[in-house]
């Protein structure tokens, strides 16, 4: 039986397998066609705003929306070769999500270091939602 991993070890393992983008790197990646998947709750999105052009995909359904063979797959975001950037509030759950996408066969999953709040703190554009 393997030993117990703690949350910090699991996070470090996930992050060792993925590319993490700074807010400015994400802005550049978006200009080159990267798809941004915002996994934050609706309440956070309403309170804090969103990154223009991002897709809202709650973390609880992310895998079923991006996997091309899933019954509820979304054709706008299920390309295994598309550069997908996962965004959460602070850049923790997005790391695990991006590493899981690697396991599903995605070739280029990434996350935003520091999450949406780093994006906002960097003074990058935030749009409100109704």
Q: Which phi and psi angles does 21 have, rounded to 5°?
A: -100, 145
Angle, alpha carbons 47-40-19 (nearest 5°) = 130
Collapsing DSSP states into helix, strand and coil, what is residue 76? Answer: coil
- DSSP-derived secondary structure for 108-120: -EEEETTHHHHHH
Select which of 36, 85, 88, 113 is catalytic: 88
Q: Is 53 a catalytic residue?
A: no
Active site members: 88
């Amino acid at each position: 039986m393997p030993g117990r991993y703690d949350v910090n070890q699991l996070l470090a393992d996930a992050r060792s397998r993925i590319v993490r983008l700074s807010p400015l790197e994400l802005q550049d990646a978006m200009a080159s066609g990267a798809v941004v998947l915002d996994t934050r709750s609706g309440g956070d999105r309403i309170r804090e705003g969103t990154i223009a052009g991002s897709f809202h995909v709650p973390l609880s359904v992310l895998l079923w929306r991006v996997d091309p063979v899933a019954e509820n797959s979304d054709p706008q975001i299920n390309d295994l070769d598309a550069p997908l950037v996962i965004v959460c509030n602070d850049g923790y759950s997005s790391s695990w999500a991006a590493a899981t996408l690697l396991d599903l066969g995605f070739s280029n999953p990434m996350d935003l270091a520091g999450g949406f709040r780093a994006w906002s703190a960097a003074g990058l554009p935030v749009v409100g939602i109704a």
